[in-house]
Chains A and B, each alone.
Chain A
Amino acid sequence: MDKSRPSPETFLAEARQAESRQNRGRLKIFLGAAPGVGKTYSMLQSARGKKAEEVDVLVGLAETHGRVETEALLQGLDILPRKSVEHRGIKLQEFDLDGALSRKPGLILVDELAHSNAPGCRHAKRWQDVVELLDRGFDVYTTLNVQHLESLKDVVAQVTGVRVHESVPDSVLERAEVELVDLPPEELLERLQEGKVYFHETAARAADNFFKISNLTALRELALRVTAEGVGAQVESQRRRQAPQTIWPISERLLVCVGPGPNSARLIRAAKRMAAGLRAEWIAVFIENQRQSLSDRARAGAVENLRLAERLGAETLTLSARDVVEGTLDLARQRNVTKIIVGKTERPRWLDLLSGSIVDELIRKSGEIDVYVIRGEAGAASPSAGAFSPKPVSWSEYGLALAAVAACTGLCFAIFPFVQLINLVMAYLLVTLLVAARGHRGPAVLASVLGILCFDFYFVPPRFSFNVADTQYGITFLAMLAAAVIISHLTVRIRTQAELAGLGEMRTAAMHALSRRLASTRGIENIFAVSLRHIAEVFDSELISLMPDQDGRLTERASSGQKRDLDEKERSVAQWVFDLGQSAGLGTQTLPVVDALYIPLIGAEGPVGVLRVQPNARERLLIPDQMLLLESFAHQLALALEVDRLQDNAKQSQLNAEKERLRSSLLSSVSHDLRTPLAAIIGSASSLLQGGSSVQGKDRELLENIQEEGERLSRLVHNLIETTRLTSGTVQLRKEPYPIEELVGSSLDRLEKLLAGRKVAADIPEDLPLVPLDSVLLEQVFINLLENAARHTPAGIAVDIAARTEQGAMLVEVSDRGPGLAADELERIFEKFYHAKSSSAGAGLGLAICRAIIDAHGGRIWAENRPGGGAVFRFTLPLPAGSAGGTHAHG
């Protein structure tokens, strides 16, 4: 087999998955073959195990169906009350998604993944609730019967004859850990007979047919297969992560050609199964034939099919090509597709003979690519396609055809005596052409047939009978009919192409106009004003844009029409859209019942806001093309907002830098102005005291007082300036590994005079590791702590310094045997300008500085009272991981 390393895309996908694995919740699905095998029971048992491991388990919803064993398991678990939703007078009990989110559990249990929510809930399906829980980072346990899996719907319908309406996309299963809850069919039937299996009333009818050994065995096999495939995929992904050096086969790539019809859904499911079996990537493509016009209805059907493929995990594409076969093969070769899957055409054989079968042509030209032809089968029509109908040919066109032929016949009667019969044929042909040129095939054929009949009846001998004397006229008739058909067909094609081109041009023009206007617009308000007006015009809608305010709450920033406040519900929809970055509301899968569409404005760096679009005619917005266009408008708006914000940020940071420069120059000039006189005072006093000078006795004492107090004032000024510098957040730490001992030494040295007469004991083991720190700032911490101890304890009281490593950090203590601190002071003394009650000394800045410095180092500082009296100040400094090396490790 051909082997190669995994492609870069595979690695990227793996990396992305790994990334999302970290912040997304984990999903565990308890998969069963049929109702009654004990899925809920297993889930609850498993959850109890988790609870025993101290996980915060919340039962979001569990259907016990009154079974005693199952209910017993709920004992002691935290159960979320259900939300009651009223629908057509019936109260329905639903899972309370918002309740679950606000409760923030560690693990949440949500039974019956395939359930359809009552109208009025946020999501149409419960699996969407679960996906939201996962996206928001919560772990979920849930249960699922195998027949509810989207890709198995058809198989199950074939095997059991029961068509399942509620389904769960395979992608949900793929991100889950699957646990199979297995019960042999015989035992299940036994349980059924004992009345231990519960059905919905609607399902009860089907149950008799459903619960047959053959069905159950088939379903069991399916469930086993799904589980095995899931395990296989997990093993493979594990193996890829752990041993990237192993060689991997080139992965197969599948291409499935999707049409507008409902039978394409079957094709897609088959492709999904095939892709899963081959571990292949797969692409679903809808190729629009440029030579054929498609009704909106058909296009909507195709888009619906593509959405299904996307839900099943395919990459989807829409192409427009002159030749469907060539287009398909071009794409296949471009993307290295190994297998193409197409549906069997259902048109009559003679048509194939006439124009050639697409499938035959594809097979003939495919070369090295395998082509799989799969039977198409009518399924349920896609529901949303029903909103559109093709443009009907109005009856007046037929009337017109009729009138034209009649007028022509009248004219022919008038000129019949004067001209040859062949010229009358020309007149009828001209009429047929004129009708055909209006672009409708039906009226053209009608005109042609009527013309032939009239010509035959009134003019071809024998006149006033449909008999034809000369068989040559048969050729004339055929030519007329053919001309009518061909010309009407050509006209229709030209017109459709012109319309398509016109539509495309309109779209391009609208986009272009918006981007041109946005390019010259600055400021959020103006951007909104310009783009909302523009989008409102193009889509004939009322628009409201929302952006988060300072507190992160979405608020209305602009609207296209008159201002209107959103109510709480609308706001919560907008918030949801903003948080998850997905559209919701009208025309989407989420909350389709509300009357507006909410589109997230997603820029390059994430969501910047939400656009609420309320169309004046809702049908218009439901056309997929329009939705896509609207989304690209929203994207453009988001990018414009983001660019504007970035420019603002750049301006702001420039301003900040300017401010900072001003502040620091102000600071240094203030510091210079305060320090210079102090330096002069201290210097002068010391000058007088110098060298056993003549100053003695009381005068000498006073001079010493001047010098000491000057020095103290100088320290205060330094503290004040240092506080300003530290709290402005612009101090850059110059961290280098330092021995604590050295810092203690230099700070004791500096405070020699202040600490005179006290015993200072330092307990610093010689082999302590070096600590990364800013030595100048840390020396300040020691100085401030020692000064604090000296000022708040009576003279002569000992001060102790100790350092040791503790839990990966350096712990340093400065303690005294003074009066200690009041309990309410322990925290407050670190506040700026706080004065300790016990003493009037100190400006209350020293400890605040200590805290700022230690915080900047990523450490912690706090005060405690010492057993046996006195206060102890402790701080920690983080040590780099594995820094066991002490000062003896080197040199």
Chain B
Amino acid sequence: MRTDERTILVVEDEAPILRFLRSALQAEGLIVVEAVNGRSALELAASRKPDMVLLDLMLPDMDGIDVLKRLRRWTAAPVIILSAKGQESDKIAGLDAGADDYLTKPFGVAELLARIRVAFRHAERKPEDPPPIHEHEGLKVDLAARRVWVRKKEVHLSPLQYDLLAVLVRNAGRVVGHKQLIKEVWHEAGEASPESVRICVHQLRHRIESDPVRPRHIKTESGVGYRLEAPGD
């Protein structure tokens, strides 16, 4: 996927990190706008209208989550959160506040670029587009036909397992939090809990993964949710 001529706002107060992000993103052909604190981030977001925001949660003047909430009042541009390890609750709060994805520091550039591509792809899909056919490493899901194949062999899933897989497919490559899964699969019927989600994922893995202990499709984002691996570009 081409990322040329798109603007990305990087909100990060640490200069060394900003420096490598700048070079990596520019090498991808993105126009990089930099902000070193929350206030300038909000101003730049308003004036430059970036196509995407990379947001560090630890800012000198404001809580990153607050910046995110203010951004979400008027823009739907994808936001990827940068946070440290051990801050799972921040990540969950970020996803709940409308972030599209997150990256745990330290991260490699390959990982960063993959997330950015996924986020752009989701942002640019229009609601009227037909649902895509997901195909990755032997797993094929046709959302329009509600059919699933594993290594060319059709697999029949229970309605709940299928619904869960469908949500993951629609967000392929992106993290989906426990809360979102409960909301979209169980429609908040009240009987679902993170426990039900985990049991359902467990069963689903045993249907579609060749080695459920080392899943290749449904990856666990510890303490946050799950991510369906998507084909890279």
Contact = CB atoms under 8 A, between A and B. Distances in A.
A887 B197 CA distance: 11
A762 B213 contact: yes
Given A776-B86, A776-B223, A679 B214 contact: no
Contacts of B27: 687, 690-691
A889 B110 CA distance: 40
B191 to A, nearest CB: 10
Given A683-B21, A736-B195, A707 B108 contact: yes
Interface string A852-890: 000000000000000000000000000000000001111
Contacts of A738: 198
B55 to A, nearest CB: 15
A277 interface: no
A891 interface: yes
B152 interface: no
B106 A745 contact: no
A675 B158 contact: no
Contact of A683 (B107, B198, B206, B220): B107
B73 interface: no
Interface string A743-782: 1111011000000000010101010001000011001000
B16 A676 contact: yes
B17 A722 contact: no
A888 B20 contact: no
Given A672-B84, A776-B88, A683 B199 contact: no
A689 B23 CA distance: 12
B203 interface: yes
Interface residues of B, number: 45
B98 interface: no
Given A738-B198, A776-B222, A683 B108 contact: yes
Interface string A665-679: 000000110011111
B14 interface: yes
Interface residues of A, number: 51
B24 interface: yes
B126 interface: no
B106 A718 contact: no
A887 B220 contact: no
B14 A680 contact: yes
A504 interface: no
Contacts of A736: 194-195
A687 B24 contact: yes
Interface string B75-94: 00000000011101000000
A868 B16 CA distance: 50
Interface string B190-233: 00001110111111011000001111000111110000000000
A132 interface: no
B160 interface: yes
B213 A745 contact: yes
B219 A746 contact: yes
A775 B222 contact: yes
A582 interface: no
A690 B212 CA distance: 30
Contact of A676 (B17, B158, B219): B17
B214 A749 contact: yes
Nearest to B221: A746
A737 interface: yes
Contacts of B161: 891
A708 to B, nearest CB: 11
Contacts of B223: 734, 775-776
B109 interface: yes
B110 A686 contact: yes
A784 to B, nearest CB: 14
B107 A679 contact: yes
A687 to B, nearest CB: 4
A677 B16 contact: yes
A174 interface: no
Contact of A770 (B24, B113, B198): B198
A766 B204 CA distance: 12
A641 to B, nearest CB: 43
A891 B88 contact: no
A738 to B, nearest CB: 6
A746 B203 contact: no
Contacts, number: 130
Nearest to B15: A680
A739 B198 contact: yes
A887 to B, nearest CB: 5
Most A Cβ at <10 Å: residue of B16, B105, B213, B215: B213
A326 to B, nearest CB: 67
Contact of B19 (A680, A690, A721): A680
A746 B158 contact: no
A742 B202 contact: yes
A891 B84 contact: no
Contacts of B198: 737-739, 742, 770
Interface string B103-122: 00111111011000000000
Contacts of B42: none
B44 interface: no
A810 to B, nearest CB: 15
Interface string A766-802: 1000100001100100000000000000000000010
B14 A683 contact: no
Contacts of B85: 718
A749 B222 CA distance: 11
A728 to B, nearest CB: 14
A676 B15 CA distance: 10
Nearest to B191: A890
Contacts of A888: 203
Contacts of B19: 680, 684
Nearest to B226: A742
Given A680-B20, A683-B24, A718 B86 contact: yes
Interface in B1-58: 14, 16-17, 19-21, 23-24, 27, 58
Nearest to A680: B16
Given A671-B84, A676-B16, A687-B20, A711 B219 contact: no
A420 B84 CA distance: 121
A710 to B, nearest CB: 7
A270 to B, nearest CB: 67
Contacts of B215: 745
Contacts of B194: 736
Contacts of A675: 84, 105-106
B17 A748 contact: no
Most A Cβ at <10 Å: residue of B24, B113, B196: B24
A687 B17 contact: no
B112 to A, nearest CB: 8
Given A748-B213, A770-B198, A891 B222 contact: no
Nearest to B18: A680
A891 B86 contact: no
Contact of A741 (B23, B202, B219): B202
Contact of A891 (B14, B199, B219): B199
Nearest to A746: B220
Contacts of B219: 745-746, 749
Given A682-B108, A683-B24, A776-B223, A890 B196 contact: yes
Given A745-B213, A748-B213, A679 B109 contact: no
Contact of B106 (A672, A682, A748): A682
A654 B186 CA distance: 44
Interface of B: 14, 16-17, 19-21, 23-24, 27, 58, 84-86, 88, 105-110, 112-113, 158, 160-161, 194-196, 198-203, 205-206, 212-215, 219-223
Given A671-B84, A690-B110, A718-B86, 11 more contacts: A672-B58, A675-B84, A677-B16, A690-B113, A714-B106, A736-B194, A736-B195, A737-B195, A742-B202, A745-B220, A776-B86
The 10 A-B residue pairs with the shortest CB-CB distance, nearest first, are A680-B16, A686-B108, A746-B220, A679-B106, A682-B106, A762-B213, A684-B20, A679-B105, A683-B20, A687-B24
9 contacts: A679-B17, A683-B108, A683-B112, A690-B110, A734-B223, A741-B213, A746-B221, A746-B222, A887-B199
